[in-house]
């Protein structure tokens, strides 16, 4: 087990890597912004949740007691992510002519189905915004009593200008109020009610045709989108907790507003380490529905999309994501996905070979060095691409061991345990049947070549047999002759 004090995390708030020191070890509080369940989950969501699935898995591996909270937004998220417009869920409900909570249930079920396909561990707690209306009203009351909120016409706004007199609004995103003012001078959303352009709604008056609405001290309305995460994170993890995660697009305004709300209500900055995952691109271009280059997870799996040459299994996609650092953009292309598919197969084949090796008492290898390298890279801000590179260094070693059948039982068990732990438990990959024409054809060709070589040997045509062996060796393909058969292996 590695030293838990050696883990470093890049903190978006301080903009540097810091030694991970939880507030109340061995307990760790992890909060991740979940989906707004008004439509099918998209690949950007999947990548973000996959990132924090690995964080959860690795912290657990280190021996921490992790409480992982990931919310469901089922009310309050408006169409343009500002304080105006219609709730996204109610908009979809009107389009599909069903109840808003039917929309919530439909797309919550779909979200769970999708993340299960990608082998994401369910969170410890999955709270909903509608299940915490009372707590949200109570936080608004504390914000108002502390002088950071004001009510106008049944809506309540957070007073950013007043807050900025004592606190740094923009500390997470790096934005400054005067710069924001310049950017939005001609479009001040909600300007008729707000005292200041940057103020944001923490309670919004409901219109007569709004279906999901609640009574409050300020009248009938709905909570602001930013409020729910401030409430649910601190309710289940404490007023101060360790890690808050989400996509880069949530840094401003959502996460910036969360910090302001918690400080405004309770005088405490809630999060010690902020983590943000980056975006997806397709062939170097930003993924967007309007550009026709966005994929739903099911389209990527089925291959039913004009930009895809074929479908890719959920584990291939997971492995593809893990080959990039979570803070880097990930660029989708058929070539990259097919390379990931082949790489995943090589990795899984090597793990199977570990079980086939006949151990030898006399031979030993340096397994500890490989284990330390993988641990070191994961301790470096969950660096999965470097960890995978180390695992592939081990694949070469496994193929060599498998070829010569030289490893003692102790090292064999240590190596097997290491790969099962890092590949299955930490990276969250699992075995699956990947059947592709790219794999089947080489197998058939190699079977034909080996049969031709065996016939040459039977005919005592040693020159042809050796020529076949030597030419294959130039292609990094080795032939192993057993008593009754011959096998082949590709070694990069």
Q: In DSSP terms, which residues pair with 281 in a beta bridge?
A: 286, 331
- CA pair distance 258, 246, nearest whole angstrom: 12
User: Cβ–Cβ contacts within 10 Å for residue 415, how many?
Assistant: 22
> Would you give the distance in Å from CA 289 to the centre of its chain?
21
Asked if 159 contacts 149 with a C-beta cutoff of 8 angstroms, the reply is yes
SS3 340: helix
Asked if 266 contacts 277 with a C-beta cutoff of 8 angstroms, the reply is no
Residue 440's pLDDT is 46
DSSP class per residue in 367-391: HHHHHHHHHHHHHBTS-HHHHHHHH
- CA pair distance 127, 129, nearest whole angstrom: 7
Token pair for 318? 């997971």
- CA pair distance 112, 95, nearest whole angstrom: 23
Least Cα distance to 20 among 59, 48, 57 occurs for 59
**Token match 């990930």: residue?**
330
Residue 81's pLDDT is 59
What are the phi and psi torsion angles at 325 (to 5°)?
Answer: -65, 140
Output the CA torsion 284→285→286→287 (10° steps): -100
Q: What is the DSSP letter of 124?
A: S
> Would you give the distance in Å from CA 8 to the centre of its chain?
18
Residue 174's pLDDT is 94
Query: Taking every pair of C-alpha atoms in the chain, what is the biggest distance, in angstroms?
Result: 97
Residues contacting 402, CB < 8 A, separation 6+: 353, 356, 357, 489
Residue 322's pLDDT is 98
- State pTM to two decimals: 0.86
Identify the structural domains of the chain with CATH numbers, from first to last: 4-277 (3.40.50.620), 281-426 (1.10.730), 437-490 (no CATH)
What pLDDT tens digit does each residue of the chain (492 aa) get?
Answer: 455 558 999 999 999 999 999 999 999 999 999 999 999 998 989 999 999 999 999 999 999 999 999 999 999 887 555 667 788 999 999 999 999 999 999 999 999 999 999 999 999 999 999 999 999 999 999 999 999 999 999 999 999 999 999 999 999 999 988 777 655 544 454 456 899 989 999 999 999 999 999 999 999 999 999 999 999 999 999 999 999 999 999 999 999 999 999 999 999 999 999 999 999 988 888 877 667 788 899 999 999 988 899 999 999 999 999 999 999 999 989 999 999 999 999 999 999 988 887 776 666 778 899 999 999 999 999 999 999 999 999 998 888 887 666 778 888 889 999 999 999 999 999 988 655 444 445 666 777 788 788 878 878 888 888 888 888 887 778 887 776 667 777 665
Burial class (CB in 10 A: 0-12, 13-18, 19+), 451: exposed
- CA pair distance 94, 92, nearest whole angstrom: 5
User: Cβ–Cβ contacts within 10 Å for residue 484, how many?
Assistant: 5
Instruction: Return the H-helix or E-strand segment holding 487.
Output: strand 486-490
- CA pair distance 393, 197, nearest whole angstrom: 55
Sheet bearing 285-286, strands edge to edge:
285-286, 280-282, 330-332
- CA pair distance 347, 351, nearest whole angstrom: 6
Token pair for 316? 């291939």
Least Cα distance to 397 among 337, 463, 350 occurs for 350
Asked if 69 contacts 233 with a C-beta cutoff of 8 angstroms, the reply is yes
């Amino acid at each position: 087990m590695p030293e838990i004090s050696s883990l470093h995390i890049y903190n978006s708030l301080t903009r540097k890597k810091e030694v991970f020191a939880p507030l109340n070890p061995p307990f760790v509080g992890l909060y991740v912004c979940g989906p707004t369940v008004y439509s099918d989950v998209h690949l950007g969501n999947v990548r973000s949740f996959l990132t924090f699935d690995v964080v959860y898995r690795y912290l657990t591996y280190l021996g921490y007691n992790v409480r992982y909270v990931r919310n469901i937004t089922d009310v309050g998220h408006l169409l343009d992510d500002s304080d105006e417009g219609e709730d996204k869920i109610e908009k979809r409900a009107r389009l599909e002519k069903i109840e808003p909570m039917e929309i919530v249930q439909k797309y919550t079920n779909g979200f769970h189905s999708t993340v299960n396909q990608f082998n994401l561990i369910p969170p410890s707690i999955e709270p909903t915004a509608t299940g915490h209306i009372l707590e949200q009203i109570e936080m608004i009351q504390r914000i108002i009593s502390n002088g950071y909120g004001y009510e106008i016409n049944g809506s309540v706004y957070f007073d950013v200008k007043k807050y900025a007199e004592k606190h740094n609004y923009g500390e997470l995103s790096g934005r400054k109020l005067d710069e924001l003012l310049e950017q939005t001078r001609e479009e001040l959303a909600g300007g008729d009610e707000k005292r200041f352009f940057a103020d944001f709604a923490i309670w919004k008056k409901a219109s007569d045709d709004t279906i999901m609405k609640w009574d409050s001290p300020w009248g009938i309305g709905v909570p602001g989108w930013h409020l729910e995460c401030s409430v649910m994170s601190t309710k289940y993890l404490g007023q101060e907790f360790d890690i808050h995660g989400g996509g880069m697009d949530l840094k401003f305004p959502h996460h910036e507003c969360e910090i302001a709300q918690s400080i405004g209500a309770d005088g405490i900055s809630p999060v010690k380490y902020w983590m943000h995952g980056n975006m997806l691109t397709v062939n170097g271009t930003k993924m967007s529905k309007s550009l026709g280059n966005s994929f739903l997870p099911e389209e990527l799996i089925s291959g039913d999309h004009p930009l895809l040459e074929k479908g890719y299994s959920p584990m291939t996609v997971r492995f593809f994501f893990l080959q990039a650092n979570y803070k880097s953009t990930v660029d989708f292309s058929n070539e990259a996905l097919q390379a990931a598919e082949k790489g995943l197969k090589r990795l899984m084949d090597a793990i199977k070979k570990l079980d086939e090796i006949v151990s030898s008492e006399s031979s030993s290898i340096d397994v500890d060095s490989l284990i330390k390298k993988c641990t070191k890279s994961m301790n470096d801000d969950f660096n999965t691409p470097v960890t995978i590179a180390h695992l592939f260094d081990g694949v070469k070693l496994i193929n060599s061991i498998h070829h010569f059948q030289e490893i003692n039982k102790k090292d064999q068990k240590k190596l097997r345990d290491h790969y099962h732990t890092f590949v299955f438990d930490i990276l969250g990959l699992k075995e699956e049947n990947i059947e592709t024409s790219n794999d089947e054809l080489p197998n058939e060709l190699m079977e034909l070549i080996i049969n031709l070589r065996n016939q040459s040997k039977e005919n005592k045509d040693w020159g042809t047999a050796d020529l076949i062996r030597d030419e294959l060796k130039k292609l990094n393909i080795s032939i192993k002759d057993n008593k009754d058969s011959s096998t082949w292996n590709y070694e990069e």
